[in-house]
Amino acid sequence: MDITFIFFLGLIIAFIGVVPPGLLNMSAAKISLKEGHARGIMFSIGACVTVFAQTYIAAIFARYLSKHTEVVEILQRVAFVVFVLITIYYLFIAKSKPKQDIEPKVRSKHSRFFHGVFLSAINMFPIPFQAYMTVTLASVGWLAFDTISIISYVSGAAMGSFVMLYMYIFFFDKIKSKSFTSQKNMNYLIGGITGVISIFTLINIIKDLSS
């Protein structure tokens, strides 16, 4: 398996996962605006260190799951239900809520690094998401669970997250006044992404049932 291909798989998947405006990317953008790009980048690096660890844990968990197909089938169905519910929530139920603009209190670069580590650590969604994605990629033959492939994928995921955070930092001035960053459109974007994942998961379930 080409490790460059695996690296870019991880990069693209993580990149897409961080596209919707959320806690990490909006925090990175606000820190950059109020305290300078250097501190915004330090925050992003700290967040991506945690993403690296979370994705590695997810890949190891996925390697275990790949050896227990009966567990994968159950989790696949559970994931389908969860993604459908998330899609319904964000497309039809979630309402726009005004966000409080909290003035950052931490100023040093090192503190911003650990701030990024902490905020990324309390967001546990990447672990089940990446576990599901790595199992799916392995099932279609795009990813192997040897050490080199896992490190390549995890490195790509960390880089993909950093690239998106970097884009938020340097382009936030241009997009902050546009409707893209409104809560309503953010909900639609998240719902659309989880909707696509739901369809992909359903297709895999149907294939498994027919095989």
Structure tokens at 9: 């798989």
Sign of the torsion formed by the C-alpha atoms of 57, 76, 201 and 194: negative
What's the number of domains the chain is made of?
A: 1
Give the pLDDT confidence score for residue 200 in this predicted structure.
77
Q: Name the pLDDT band for 178 (thresholds 50, 70, 90).
A: low
- The rounded Cα 153 to chain-centroid distance in angstroms is 13
Examine residue 211 and state whether it is found in any structural domain, yes or no.
no
Domain membership flag for residue 82? no
Residue 93 φ/ψ region, left for φ over 0, alpha for ψ in the -120 to 50 degree band, beta for the rest: alpha
Task: Quickly state the pLDDT bin for 45 (edges 50, 70, 90).
Answer: very high
**Is 63 within 8 Å of 143 (Cβ atoms)?**
no
Beta strand extents in the chain (DSSP E only): none
Q: Please indicate, yes or no, if residue 88 is contained in any of the structural domains.
A: no
In tens, the pLDDT along 61-82 reads 888 877 776 666 776 777 778 7
| Stated pTM of the model | 0.71
CB 145 within 8 A of CB 76: no
Instruction: Report d(CA 107, CA 85) in Å as an integer.
Output: 39
Query: Comparing C-alpha atoms, which of 33, 30, 24, 41 is closest to residue 109?
Result: 41
Q: Find which of 15-29, 39-53, 173-187 is predicted with most confidence, using mean pLDDT.
A: 39-53
Q: pLDDT digit string (tens) for 103-151?
A: 445 456 668 899 999 988 887 778 878 887 888 888 788 888 899 999 9
> What DSSP character marks residue 180?
G
Residue 182 in any domain: the answer is no
Q: How many CB atoms lie within 10 A of CB 167?
A: 17
The answer as to whether 205 is a domain residue is no
Average pLDDT value over all residues in the chain: 79
Cα dihedral sign for 11, 176, 127, 112? Answer: positive
Phi (first) and psi of residue 177, to 5 degrees? -90, 0
The type of residue at 23 is: L
Range of the domain at 162: 3-71+101-177
Token digits of residue 126: 């990447």
pLDDT at 99: 46
Q: Is 193 inside a domain boundary?
A: no
Is 163 domain-assigned? yes
| C-alpha span between 102 and 115 (Å, rounded) | 15
Residue 187 inside a domain? The answer is: no
Dihedral sign (CA 111, 112, 115, 116): negative
